[in-house]
Structure 1
Amino acid sequence: MGILWFILIFVSLTCHGDAYGPDSCKQEGGLCRLGNCVSGEYLANYCFQPIILCCKTLSPTTTKS
């Protein structure tokens, strides 16, 4: 019975829905973070949905004078 749970967990981790993965996140200039994005970052995608987020740095606002 224990091996059945292991297989179920493994399958659920490999089928992560709309997640892009860590390589895609890094190519787009983001970082994978567990839980929440830090201050100054926003959620761009998921590395592994729903736990590991792909966070990107907020761009500095430019002002024209």
Structure 2
Amino acid sequence: MGILWFILIFISLTGNGDAQGPDSCHHEGGLCRVGNCVSGEYLARYCFEPIILCCKSLTPTIAKS
């Protein structure tokens, strides 16, 4: 019975809302975080709604050549 709940939770997380997954979050300079974004970051969207957030830095990072 426990495995059934796990499968149901997994299906609901992957098929919910406008979550686009970790690849698109990383591609746009964000990080996937569980729970809350850390200080200095904001919620851009969800990696897996509603638990795993795509957080981006408030200040843009400067790439050095």
Give the TM-score normalised by the residue count of structure 2.
0.76
Query: For residues 52 and 7 of structure 1, do their structure 2 counterparts lie closer, same or farther at Cα, with a shift above 3 Å needed?
Result: closer
Q: Percent identity?
A: 80
- Cα RMSD, aligned residues only: 1.7
Give the TM-score normalised by the residue count of structure 1.
0.76
Structure 2, gaps ≥5 residues long? 61-65
Structure 1, gaps ≥5 residues long? 61-65
Q: How does 1:1-65 map to 2 (within 5 A)?
A: 2=1, 4-59=4-59
SS at match of 1:16: coil
1:20 deviation in Å? 1.2
Q: Aligned partners of 2:41 and 2:6: how far apart in 1?
A: 35
Q: Aligned partners of 1:42 and 1:6: how far apart in 2?
A: 30
How many residue pairs get aligned? The number is 59
Q: Which runs of 4+ in 1 moved over 4 A?
A: none
